[in-house]
Structure 1
Amino acid sequence: MTFSIAAHQDGRFGIAATSSSPAVAARVIHLRDAVGAVTSQNVTDPRLGPALLDALASGASPDAALAEVLKDRPDTEYRQLTVVDASGEAATFSGRLTLGVHGEATAPHCAAAGNMLAGPDIPGILCEAFTDAEGELEERLLTALAAGLAAGGEAGPVYSAGLSTVSAAGWRDTDLRVDWQDDPIDALGRLLDVWLPQRDDYVRRGLEPAASPGYGVPGDDR
């Protein structure tokens, strides 16, 4: 039903995810400045994302955070999780009732997981593509997601996708979603092409409005 990748690059954290179900990014993506990136998927419990980020913030490693949060918690056999911290260490968890063909993988600074996949190797392909890619964190995440799809992706078609990052500004500096479309990863790429050249200007507008650049649209007289 979902495959995703969480990653760290130069102090930034990001996640890209896609699914056959609608609005996948609304449930799966969890990010926190200077702390980490967490995905919570399969039969999704979004409450696990903040709990894992709290554990990382308290000093736990990704493996220890998973052990702490999952200990004595009900229904963990349905959950699939990935965790990446500020050192680039990564860990994954897939409960025994994870749906269909599933898999997970880690590499330095990234972790990927998926369920109801065309093959169990898809998460490893995501991590390999991210590791080999160059450019901004967003570009590398999108490259990884596209590589997973090209390798077979889910057993069926995907319809939603999302890509988000944090960079210590206090909010998500990139937060893009395609909630229902026949080719959501391609649509996400086109959104990113529009957004990425403007990203830093929007951050500056939030932090330094008096010094920020104009919008270059009708009605903007700066």
Structure 2
Amino acid sequence: MLPRLRHAAVVAALVCALCCAPAGATYSIVACDAAGDCGAAVATHNLAVGASVIYAQAKVGAVATQFETNPQYGPKGLALLARGVAPADALQRLLEEDGGFDGGDIGERQVGLVDARGRAATHTGAAAQASAWAGARSGEGFAVQGNGLASAEVLEAMAEAYRGGRGDLSERLMAALRAGQRAGGQRIGAMSAALRVATVAGGFQDIDLRVDAAADPVADLARLDDQFHAHQAMLGAERAARSGDAAAARAQRNEALRLSHQWDRIWRRAARLAMQLGEDERALEYLGVFASANPVWAREEVDDALYARLRQRPQFVRLREGLGAQEPGG
């Protein structure tokens, strides 16, 4: 607890003791990596958590504002971090200038901040702390925080998973979120989850994925992140093929298919790439999966001139007949 806020925290604790605390159920992680990418991931028992809880800016930092969210903390926190204000001082400013958003106060705020230099700060107000279990942990380059959790093990598991995670920042954030779920997650269940990563490269490298309402939002979010990476891998495969590096194209394509979760678009592009690489058998295999996932689109696809050299192959003929495709020009 920050020193200048102790008196306010005591008052909030007394108020909390006299009334029922809200049923909070949220856990999140904010982090920045050595490259300057910054991001956050969150899960909660509420609707559309990605709309107002997590914020990130490359080479600056990330913010999570939860329990009784004050959405002003995100933009204000990032602006302070961008000016070089340390996370602890930025957090102090946010709490001092809370302004009673939505009738709440700092006792109802739970906040995590991290900057691109790896410094982190957290705050769990008295009302938030009263929701069993609530707390926060931080380390070099990250902070995890939660309320209404099954136990302290949720945050411990998240911190361990992030520290030991491999891959890019989004994959490490998702590893932490999934570890938190495996450790028990929210005591009263889950409803939505979100992932946001602001990259130094920017543009389509940035990630903003949301599951606004689902029975298993963390699993659904993990699938979306896999599919994001599947798309990136397929783009890499197509670039490699254009440059004449067939081995790299195949490796990237295989990675895209591994992460696709049967996404029809990825299998269609894999089939087209196989034709480009002279892999007719592979193309037929991939077209079969694509047709199973999206027969309407596949009915159009098999008539493309790209597949002309397959037209007399029995497997291709059976595929077209099964789809009810017409002969071109027929």
Structure 1 partner of 2:200: 168
Counterpart selection for 2:107 from 47, 52, 77? 77
Whole-Å separation in 2 of the counterparts to 1:46 and 1:95: 16
- Compare 71-80 and 163-172 and name the one that shifted more: 163-172
Task: Provide TM-score, normalisation by structure 2.
Answer: 0.59
| Structure with greater Cα Rg | 2
Q: Secondary structure at the match of 1:97?
A: helix
AA matched with 1:161: A
2:81 aligned with 1:56:
yes
2:37 aligned with 1:12:
yes
RMSD over aligned Cα atoms: 2.2
2:124 aligned with 1:91:
no
- TM-superposition CA deviations, 1:55-98 (whole Å, max 9, x none): 11121111011112212533111100000101111110111111
2:69 aligned with 1:36:
no
Structure 2 partner of 1:208: none
Instruction: Report the structure, 1 or 2, having the larger strand content.
Output: 1
Task: Provide TM-score, normalisation by structure 1.
Answer: 0.86
Whole-Å separation in 1 of the counterparts to 2:43 and 2:162: 15
AA matched with 2:162: F
AA matched with 1:145: L
Whole-Å separation in 2 of the counterparts to 1:47 and 1:116: 23
Q: Secondary structure at the match of 2:127?
A: coil
Deviation at 1:170, TM superposition (A): 4.9
Whole-Å separation in 2 of the counterparts to 1:138 and 1:59: 24
Structure 2 partner of 1:196: 229
Whole-Å separation in 2 of the counterparts to 1:149 and 1:72: 33
AA matched with 1:100: S
Whole-Å separation in 2 of the counterparts to 1:124 and 1:26: 26
Aligned residue pair count: 208
Counterpart selection for 1:67 from 72, 92, 95? 92
Task: Specify which structure has the bigger relative contact order, considering alpha-carbon pairs within 8 angstroms and separated by 6 or more residues.
Answer: 1
Counterpart selection for 1:100 from 131, 147, 155? 131
AA matched with 1:198: H
Q: Secondary structure at the match of 2:126?
A: coil
Whole-Å separation in 2 of the counterparts to 1:187 and 1:116: 21
> Sequence identity of aligned pairs in percent?
37
Deviation at 1:137, TM superposition (A): 0.9
- Checking the alignment, whether the CA contact within 8 Å between 1:2 and 1:18 is kept in structure 2 is yes
Instruction: Report the structure, 1 or 2, having the larger helix content.
Output: 2
Deviation at 1:34, TM superposition (A): 1.6
Deviation at 1:200, TM superposition (A): 8.3
